[in-house]
């Protein structure tokens, strides 16, 4: 693979297709401190820290990321349009996504917390668009994190 990585892009594309690269890229929430839901600031918010892992021999650039957030049901959507380079055989963990929450969204979490079956569980459906010397590729990820930190007061403000 190191030999392929050093060749010109047009030669590399003869041997490897961009679709194959998608299996070497992973989108996930950061392992430590993946984020939180909080109403302690003036505007309630959902913060998430994402990690992109590149197991390939090629550096890639994350062009954009589309994220759908679920707390038991579709809850919020965000797009990250910040381009981020990920070197070969490495990862980046500094992708910060902030979603400001409406009163309805906060109330949805508050009602969930009052339920006896409440689990602070977040599910993300993420689609990342990456470019490299192989061309464009799309990576789909379903991320489930149990015990996601939620700090929402039990009564309205």
- Average pLDDT rounded to a whole number, residues 61-76: 94
What pLDDT sits at residue 147? Answer: 87
What pLDDT sits at residue 60? Answer: 95
CA distance 100 to 12: 43
Tens-digit pLDDT profile for residues 39-54: 988 899 999 999 999 9
Statement: residue 33 has pLDDT above 90: no
- Average pLDDT rounded to a whole number, residues 144-152: 89
- Average pLDDT rounded to a whole number, residues 126-144: 93
Q: Following DSSP, what letter does each residue of 105-155 receive, concatenated?
A: HHHHHHHHHHSTT----EEEEEEEEEEETTEEEEEEEEEEESS--EE--SS
Catalogue all structural domains in the chain, each as residue range(s) with its CATH number. Answer: 2-151 (2.60.40.10)
What pLDDT sits at residue 116? Answer: 77
- Average pLDDT rounded to a whole number, residues 9-25: 70
Is pLDDT larger for residue 73 or for residue 86? 86
């Amino acid at each position: 693979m190191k030999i392929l990585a050093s060749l010109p892009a047009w030669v590399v594309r003869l041997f490897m297709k961009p679709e194959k690269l998608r299996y070497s890229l992973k989108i996930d929430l950061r392992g430590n401190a993946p984020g939180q839901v909080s109403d302690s600031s003036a505007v309630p918010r959902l913060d998430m820290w994402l990690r992109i892992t590149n197991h390939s021999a090629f550096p890639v650039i994350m062009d954009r990321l589309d994220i759908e957030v679920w707390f038991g049901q579709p809850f919020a959507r965000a797009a990250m349009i910040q381009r981020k380079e990920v070197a070969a055989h490495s990862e980046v963990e500094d992708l910060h996504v902030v979603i400001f929450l409406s009163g309805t969204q906060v109330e949805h979490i508050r009602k969930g917390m009052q339920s006896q079956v409440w689990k602070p569980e977040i599910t993300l459906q993420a689609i990342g668009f990456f470019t490299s010397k192989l061309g464009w590729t799309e990576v789909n990820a379903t991320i489930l994190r149990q015990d996601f930190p939620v700090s929402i007061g039990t009564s309205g403000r």
